[in-house]
Structure 1
Amino acid sequence: MYLLQGVVLSLLAATSAASPVQDVFPRQSGAGYSLKQPPLTTPWTDKVGTDPWPEYPRPQLQRPHWQNLNGVWGYQNASGLNAVQSPPFGQQLGQEVLVPSCLESGLSGIQGSYTLYSWFSNSFKVPSDWKNQKVLLNFDAVDYEATVFVNGKKAGFHRGGYFRFTVDVTQYVKIGQENELLVFVHDPTDDGDFVIPIGKQTLHPSHIFYTPCSGIWQSAWLEAAPQNHITQLDLAANMDGQVNVTVHTSAMNVTSNVLVTVHDNGKVLKTHSGPSNRPFQFNVESPELWSPDSPKLYNVTVKLGNDKVQSYTGFRTIEKGKVNGVVRPMLNGEFVFMFGTLDQGFWPDGIYTPPTKEAMIYDLKVLKSLGFNMVRKHIKVETELFYQACDEIGLLVIQDMPSLRPSQSKTNPADCSSSPILPNADQQIEFDRQLDLLINQFKSFPSIATWVIYNEGWGQITDYHPEIELTERVKQLDPTRLVDSVTGWYDHGAGDFSDNHHYANPQCGTPFYSINSSPYDETRIGFQGEFGGVGNNVSIEHLWNVQEAINTINQTYEIDETIDAWNYRSHMLLGELEDQVKRFACSGGVWTQTTDVEGEVNGLITYDRRLKRVDEDQWKSDIQALYDAAAARSNATTSTL
């Protein structure tokens, strides 16, 4: 086995603007908070402390004055949904919790279960120089529903466990004084009849389904903004130098002039003015293009009246085209063989919340060092700092929409028959709305290459085919990327990919397929959405020490008794994929998976990130062989579709 060093290589020099200055005020001391011992730790567990995630959390829309609310908050369990009608104003809650964290995690200090209803409390001061400005309260992710109260007044509500939301609290706060903040959170996960986007979360963890995450699990923070301010910035820059911009503002029905400047290392490359709340375009001459081999980014400044924000972009074009008669994914006019791992984004100490930014980036650095050029973010959405890191490191991202209840059935009491748990009409509408949130929040990150709507039929209605309409909706919201409408199963011809899942052997763009998948469709991109998954058990100090999880280890697709056997089997499977690239129409693949998770032991790295299984020289060679085989298929006339 190969020991991980626990020291993360520093990121490439940041290309986005320097982080704004934080206006700091004292918060709760954290005297009552303590880390709960999780079933497994990582090298970063003890480094978290009571000041977690101090980084500026929104890299593509940065303002100069902000206040981080992360740290120790008050917490208490709530009795039910009706508890929101009786907020505990002016009361000290019974426990202390670390924000951001999952209530089920050791890092939270709670390590609870069935935390369906919760109260969170904190206090904050608004600096006196924020007077006459909007005071905006930001939550980057709260799972699942959040009701926000400020100084005894209901200030906002949000539904959706993966997406940021902003509450304008200007009318509720007292400048220069302590302000009381209460948040009521309801997170049903897969309780009862709820059908909501949950990904791999379940209240009953078993093998490929894991411990859930409830509560404020990404950063909470305040910022000051002018009365008319930028609320969303859409940037898309292509390989021809065209920059497409939409500057959304708080005055949605008012058109104002905005000024956009693209600069590089202090040198202004282009300044252009355009209207707010409407798309406009301009060109930058001969930009250096973004790719995994050369992840070049450019700083962008946007001014709207008194509002000035910093952002960044990368020039690249993602499309599909024909190369030697085969439909391929194209990056900057050339066939790109996309090869990465299935990345669950779970942590033994933080569940959904990585212990630190350094820890999060460690996983990405391991993938990049082995030669992977892509990561599939599997039915989870990360902090925006994750996608910034992919932009900077040079990793393409296949981004899944978190799935509805997966692989679960209900029993009809009339005849004892079983049927899959699928969304009703209202639940499907809510899924569609949250898919919109996903696209709109993350579509400006250059590294994201593909959106995935459904994974393996989980929550996918088959009486009709909603993915067909949803695919068109995604392409309307974001015409700059590819769409993998259904990865794995129940393919009805929508989207850009003909995507097969098969364990352990690949079936990528081939004239053979398994019962759960569809035949390769030559009008779309042949892709191996998942394969591999071979496992190797490890000693207890590297396992999620929960007996129910340990009992399911042998459900792994294949168990190899030694590290040498595991690397041998991996080599054989990668060689088989290489042969399919040479012979058939395989344009990329996703290896399962980056790390072990709970009862799964099929990661390149163990769940605690302390051991690598990979023979690094072998893996680098095998991955490079895939790119070489793809390149050999590219020496022909290319046309776009």
Structure 2
Amino acid sequence: MRTLIGAIASMVLAMSAIDAAAQAAPTGDSVYTSDLMTRWGREVTPDNAWRSYPRPQLKRDRWLNLNGLWDYAIAKDTAAQPMRMDGQILVPYPVESKLSRVARKVTPDDRIWYRRSFTVPQDWAGEHVMLNFGAVDFAATIWVNGAVVGSHKGGFDTFGFDITDYLKPGRNELVVQVADPTSAGTQPRGKQILDPSGIWYTAVSGIWQTVWLEPVPKLHIDDVRATPDIDRGVVDIAVALSGWASDTDAVKLTASAGGKVIASTIIRANRRATLAVPNARLWSPDDPYLYDLKAELVTVADPYAGQDERDRKAYDARFTQGEDRTYAAARIAGVPRDTVDTYFAMRKISIGPGRVAGQPAVLLNNKPLFQNGTLDQGWWPDGLYTAPSEEAMKSDLVFLKKAGFNMLRKHIKVEPARYYYDADHLGILIWQDMPSGGGEDQFVTGTSKSQAVLSSDAMAENQNELAAMIGDLRAFPSIVMWVVNNEGWGQYDSATLARYVKGMDPSRLVNADSGWLDVAPGASDVFDIHTYEDVPNTPTRQSTRAIVIGEYGGIGMPVTGHIWRPGKKNWGYQVATGEEDYLARFRRKMAGVIRAAREDGLSASVYTQTTDVEDEINGLLTYDRARAKASPEALAAIAAPLRTLSSER
């Protein structure tokens, strides 16, 4: 009982601190935060804020989490680094959020300053230290002990720096400066806006994912990319190091199933290998089976030692089958210098014959599987971009599975890596959107006949972030489609970008244009319409592409006590009068989807949306996740016919 009382007291103190911090913000720059709070948000403290290892697809055993209370200040861009800070902020929650304990606006002319100290663990002595950021929105510059160690642009991708040369014994100082133009700029930003209303939400700025330190050797494993091929019964694995490798640098790869080794080999560093996966157990929403993979950076005895013209033979062997055989038989000397754990799934996503003759369909593992999904914004009333905890974030996925959905469209936002890890393990297919950018005047409309015109710098920024997103997320098997554009928001040169994405990752489908201006039929794997009519429209048939509904639904229903801004008019495509009316409308829309799937070969549909978000009340769940508009069992029963479609061929 004493422990329980202590926990409750700590929670009350934590919430009081959050409220006090929000109230202490200067009147002119405070952000509206509502009284809504999730049950997970009420449990957040500086000691438990996002403690999971943040990079589950490239996991090392040793690391130091830097989440918690940092000093912060917001100053104008013309001001020098402030000597006196404004207070404390709880990282990794955005500055504008309630959970950050700040809840202040950030204008394009502002700069956010973060500061904290850290001490490198003694047992890391002699190793290189990486400083890693899960994501910072938007432009960050980082100092360690007064020296600039690097900078980064991009609000959604991971980045890091080797800070070894900047460290000193004992206490070290870390300073981060962030600039974020939000909707005043053209950078990818999704649904953030400086003046939120309707379908546009509160701006997010600064550090919004985990910050951590990690010891590594100077030359270490930087990337492991596993691409399954179920038709050949193999997995192709590429391993990239942090720099150039010598002929004695090699990587040992070991694939396991249920703790039992199924394949192993040695490759020269910065190379790829193919491992056989006999009798592969295929990943699917009904059976999300994952294989473990270990990559170890090792030193091998020089495989060319003693040979005539040794250097010439080593050079000529590069990227040949002879080199593969030589390293597979190489002798390892000593212990591994770096080890990372990852995983992969044996699954295939493709376009092929469906149940309706002449209409191609989306296939999973060479069989049609109707993808029944929701539009998922990924916003939270207390953390905005950042879920209060991984448990909170995972709860949305668990609800969707119970409600009969096997897919979601991650809508113009990129989540922390743990989100995709959870989807991999739960069996949720994901369509991953590229966050939209461009100016408001560059939003292509439903009647437009041409695409936006952006500057070379704006296009370069968009393409850099697009490549970074794919690079960060391509290891997660749950992702089956990249969505390049949404409803023409900053849409430019769509066909070129779709081919660019397909070139980077040919193992997944590409949706060039979700809704509105379809200008890339030869480069897009699907034809995607948005339809918010009472009964959804059906996409016109296509001879070479699958047809999908990228958005439909939008049944709004306000729930008293769970409204973001009480007293203000909420926004929805249609508004239900109660749960009975809500279910009737949902049944009517789902009946249209089922008919289109059965009669016209529709491959997928995306219902708007998982949760309410701020003024938008189109969710299956309230914004605080406290109430479902209808039980998940009732929703699953209505959608049940979609599960049987693939067996009706």
TM-score by length of 2: 0.85
Measure, in 2, the Cα distance between the counterparts of 1:154 and 1:383: 26
Residue of 579, 602, 611 corresponding to 1:586: 602
Is 1:73 equivalent to 2:100 in the alignment? no
Measure, in 2, the Cα distance between the counterparts of 1:537 and 1:64: 46
Deviation of 1:265 (Å): 2.7
Is 1:34 equivalent to 2:18 in the alignment? yes
**Residue identity in the other structure for 1:499:** D
**Residue identity in the other structure for 1:571:** R
Whether the 8 Å contact between 1:587 and 1:630 is mirrored in structure 2 is no
The equivalent residue for 1:351 is 384
Residue of 150, 164, 167 corresponding to 1:156: 150
1:374-385 equivalences in 2 (<5 Å)? 374-385=407-418
1:167-206 equivalences in 2 (<5 Å)? 167-175=161-169, 177-191=170-184, 194-206=185-197
Alignment CA distance shift 1:245-1:561 (3 Å): same
1:219-618 equivalences in 2 (<5 Å)? 219-239=210-230, 240-252=232-244, 254=246, 256-305=249-298, 306-323=337-354, 324-405=357-438, 408=441, 423-461=454-492, 466-492=493-519, 493=521, 494-505=523-534, 507=536, 509-511=538-540, 520-539=541-560, 541-545=561-565, 550-551=568-569, 553=570, 555-618=571-634
Alignment CA distance shift 1:155-1:224 (3 Å): same
Deviation of 1:468 (Å): 1.2
Deviation of 1:92 (Å): 5.0
**Residue identity in the other structure for 2:578:** T
Measure, in 2, the Cα distance between the counterparts of 1:74 and 1:604: 38
Alignment CA distance shift 1:311-1:92 (3 Å): farther
Residue of 124, 127, 146 corresponding to 2:118: 124
Alignment CA distance shift 1:391-1:258 (3 Å): same
Measure, in 2, the Cα distance between the counterparts of 1:125 and 1:77: 26
Measure, in 1, the Cα distance between the counterparts of 2:256 and 2:633: 39
Measure, in 2, the Cα distance between the counterparts of 1:47 and 1:32: 12
Tell me the SS of whatever aligns to 1:34.
helix
Alignment CA distance shift 1:48-1:165 (3 Å): same
Tell me the SS of whatever aligns to 1:251.
coil
Measure, in 2, the Cα distance between the counterparts of 1:501 and 1:248: 40
Whether the 8 Å contact between 1:246 and 1:278 is mirrored in structure 2 is yes
Measure, in 1, the Cα distance between the counterparts of 2:479 and 2:176: 32
Measure, in 1, the Cα distance between the counterparts of 2:613 and 2:221: 39
Measure, in 2, the Cα distance between the counterparts of 1:331 and 1:429: 34
Residue of 20, 36, 46 corresponding to 2:42: 46
Deviation of 1:325 (Å): 2.9
Measure, in 2, the Cα distance between the counterparts of 1:229 and 1:283: 26
Cα deviation, 1:54-112, whole Å, max 9, x if unaligned, reads 111100111121000000000000211x44xx334xx4522100000011110001101
Give the unaligned 5+ runs of structure 2: 1-12, 23-32, 299-336, 444-449
Measure, in 2, the Cα distance between the counterparts of 1:140 and 1:260: 26
**Residue identity in the other structure for 1:154:** V
Tell me the SS of whatever aligns to 1:598.
coil
Whether the 8 Å contact between 1:505 and 1:531 is mirrored in structure 2 is no
Cα deviation, 1:41-61, whole Å, max 9, x if unaligned, reads 111121011120011110011
Measure, in 2, the Cα distance between the counterparts of 1:94 and 1:616: 45
Tell me the SS of whatever aligns to 2:201.
coil
**Residue identity in the other structure for 2:477:** P
Deviation of 1:215 (Å): 0.8
Measure, in 1, the Cα distance between the counterparts of 2:630 and 2:244: 52
Measure, in 1, the Cα distance between the counterparts of 2:223 and 2:175: 26
Q: How many residues are paired up?
A: 572
Measure, in 2, the Cα distance between the counterparts of 1:546 and 1:202: 21
Whether the 8 Å contact between 1:185 and 1:215 is mirrored in structure 2 is yes
Alignment CA distance shift 1:257-1:445 (3 Å): same
Tell me the SS of whatever aligns to 1:93.
coil
Deviation of 1:267 (Å): 1.3
The equivalent residue for 1:99 is 91
Counting aligned pairs with the same residue, the percent is 39
Measure, in 2, the Cα distance between the counterparts of 1:188 and 1:108: 20
The equivalent residue for 2:140 is 146
Whether the 8 Å contact between 1:233 and 1:246 is mirrored in structure 2 is yes
Whether the 8 Å contact between 1:510 and 1:585 is mirrored in structure 2 is no
Deviation of 1:392 (Å): 0.3
Give the unaligned 5+ runs of structure 1: 1-28, 411-418, 512-519, 636-641
Whether the 8 Å contact between 1:234 and 1:443 is mirrored in structure 2 is yes
Q: How big is the alpha-carbon RMSD for the aligned residues of Structure 1 and Structure 2?
A: 2.1
Deviation of 1:544 (Å): 0.5
Whether the 8 Å contact between 1:33 and 1:96 is mirrored in structure 2 is no
**Residue identity in the other structure for 2:151:** F
Measure, in 2, the Cα distance between the counterparts of 1:405 and 1:292: 35
**Residue identity in the other structure for 2:353:** K
Cα deviation, 1:619-640, whole Å, max 9, x if unaligned, reads 11221112223432xx2xxxxx
Alignment CA distance shift 1:307-1:33 (3 Å): farther
Residue of 103, 114, 126 corresponding to 2:106: 114
Tell me the SS of whatever aligns to 2:636.
helix
**Residue identity in the other structure for 2:39:** P
Tell me the SS of whatever aligns to 1:614.
coil
**Residue identity in the other structure for 1:314:** A
Measure, in 2, the Cα distance between the counterparts of 1:180 and 1:607: 38
Measure, in 2, the Cα distance between the counterparts of 1:32 and 1:45: 13
Measure, in 2, the Cα distance between the counterparts of 1:569 and 1:506: 9
Measure, in 2, the Cα distance between the counterparts of 1:241 and 1:505: 45
TM-score by length of 1: 0.86
Measure, in 2, the Cα distance between the counterparts of 1:122 and 1:476: 42
Alignment CA distance shift 1:355-1:213 (3 Å): same
Cα deviation, 1:206-261, whole Å, max 9, x if unaligned, reads 10000011010000000000111011111122324311111111124656311110
Deviation of 1:277 (Å): 2.1
Alignment CA distance shift 1:253-1:32 (3 Å): farther
1:81-92 equivalences in 2 (<5 Å)? 82-83=78-79, 86-88=80-82, 91=83
Whether the 8 Å contact between 2:280 and 2:346 is mirrored in structure 1 is yes
Whether the 8 Å contact between 2:367 and 2:646 is mirrored in structure 1 is no
Choose between structure 1 and 2: higher helix proportion: 2
Cα deviation, 1:318-372, whole Å, max 9, x if unaligned, reads 1111234321111111111111100000000000000011110111100011111
**Residue identity in the other structure for 2:338:** D
